[in-house]
Amino acid sequence: MTNISIKKTEDVVDVVENVETPENTDNQKHLKVGSYDVSIANEKVPLLGVAASAIILLVAVGVGQVGKKWYRSYGYALGSVALIIAVLGLLPKISDHFDKFSLYVNYFLFLWCFIGACIMTFGDGPFIATGERLP
C-alpha cells in the first residue's frame, strides 16, 4: 500500500463537490497542487504537521536569539528527533514496518513535542513570548 502518491493531471478543477467517488473513499487525502494530484493516507496526515513544525523549530532555533547554549542544543535535538521520526513514518517502504508500532510512535511524538514546546516556550528558548501579553 502506497501512503503518498503524486500524479500529474492536465485539467484543473476549481469547484470541488462533496460527492462520494472512488477517489475520496480510498482512505486518502487528495490535494491539488498546481497540475499535480497529491494523495496521502489519512493516518499519515498528522506526521506532515509534525514534520512542518519540526522544520519551523529548527529554523527558529538557528535564527533566534536563545538565552543559553543548553536551550539551543535542546532545540536542535527536539526538532531533529521529531523530523526524523515523522519522515521515516511517511516513507512508503519504511512506513509498512512503522504500522505495527504507529500507536507507540504517535504517543512518543506527542509527549516529546509537548514537553519540548513547554520548555522552549516558558524557558529561555527562542519562543519567549506566548502571545498573551500586549505591548
| pLDDT of the residue at 111 | 95
Residue 131 pLDDT > 70, yes or no?
A: no
Beta sheet of 4-8, edge-to-edge order: 4-8, 36-41, 28-33
116, burial (CB in 10 Å: exposed 0-12, middle 13-18, buried 19+): buried
Residue 130 pLDDT > 80, yes or no?
A: no
Q: How confident is the model at residue 7 (pLDDT cuts 50, 70, 90)?
A: low
Contacting residues for 61 by C-beta, under 8 A, at least 6 apart: 72, 75, 76, 79, 125, 126
The pLDDT tens digits of the residues spanning 17-35 come to 444 444 445 777 777 778 8
The pLDDT tens digits of the residues spanning 48-91 come to 889 999 999 899 888 876 667 888 888 899 999 999 999 988 88
| pLDDT of the residue at 45 | 83
| pLDDT of the residue at 112 | 94
Residue 95 pLDDT > 70, yes or no?
A: no
pTM: 0.68
Residue 102 pLDDT > 90, yes or no?
A: no
Beta carbons of 30 and 39 less than 8 angstroms apart = yes
